[in-house]
Amino acid sequence: MKVMIGIDVGKKTGFALSLGGKLSEVKSYRFWDAVMAVKSLFERYKQDNQIDFKVYVEDPRLRTWFGSDEKKVQAARMGVGSVKRDAELWEEFLQREQIPYELIAPKYNRTKLSHEQFIRLTGWTNRTNEHGRDAAMLIYGRQ
């Protein structure tokens, strides 16, 4: 069975869990609560050789574009430092705990879906927020 976790870094960390290709959690956590959730899930599944476990982290350090509107570019750059630091902390944590992971450039993730768009695409009808949906899109449809 495949266990995948999607992490959308930021002040509110988006978190999504897929078990066997089916979404089972879509939510947001505070940073350290998300870290502990990933660690707990990895501890639960790491001994089972039948489990393929991987964490997918959206990494703003891999972002190479900011658009052309100068005001929007400046606003985006203002907040990007803290999320870059969060991505760095995630990478360090995952390496330290020897948890399999992949860093995903933002341009390769479909983000900012409305709740209605997310339902149509994934079939997930439970309550979500933008951060959880962005995390889910990191893992939705992966084989």
For residue 25, what are the contacts with CB-CB under 8 A and spacing of at least 6? 15, 16, 17
Residue 128 reports pLDDT greater than 80: yes
In the prediction, which pLDDT does 67 show?
56
> Class of the 2-139 domain?
alpha beta
Which pTM does this prediction carry? 0.89
| Helix locations, the chain, DSSP H | 31-45, 70-96, 115-122, 130-139
Q: Tell me, what amino acid is at 52?
A: D
What tens digit of pLDDT does each residue of 46-100 get?
A: 999 999 999 999 999 887 655 566 665 555 555 668 899 999 999 999 999 999 9
In the prediction, which pLDDT does 108 show?
76
Domain regions of the chain by residue span: 2-139
Bigger pLDDT: 143 vs 45: 45
In the prediction, which pLDDT does 39 show?
99
